[in-house]
Structure 1
Amino acid sequence: MIRTILTPENQDLSIHIPESYIGRKIEVLLYAVDELNIDETRKKKKSSDFRGKLNLTDEQYTDLQNHLKDVRNEWNNDI
């Protein structure tokens, strides 16, 4: 595997393919490094970031809470 970071000086970029890669499928990725850092920070969310996101009605909230109680009570049952 070959990995390198370049700073292009114009819109054209030429790469040299090693002889051992000839005839093989290769993957070429092109992205700006600073864009990748932005995407990584978006992925790092805490569970508290989702608080209140369901926008449930009172009835839906009650049904969900009852379901959760039932599921948790099943944990105490002997199998």
Structure 2
Amino acid sequence: MALQYLSDASGKPTAVVIPIKEWESLKAKHQDLQLLEKTVSPRKQKPSDFAGTLPHDVAEAMQKHVEESRNEWERF
């Protein structure tokens, strides 16, 4: 099995990458890994899942602030 080790800036190992074929093989042999994957993996979200999460008036106020901020830079 060809594992890849990920390290932080100081060289301390922080994660291991297992090839997907090996992962699938391990899951087939060990039911607890299948359960772990289902409980740990969050549901993948799409950007459209977040549509409409801000009230319209708040979104408008934020947009106005962004435009005013851009205009500040143009004045100088």
TM-score by length of 1: 0.36
Between Structure 1 and Structure 2, the one with more strand by share is 2
Between Structure 1 and Structure 2, the one with more helix by share is 2
Larger Rg over CA atoms = 1
- Greater relative contact order (Cα < 8 A, sep 6+): 2
TM-score by length of 2: 0.37
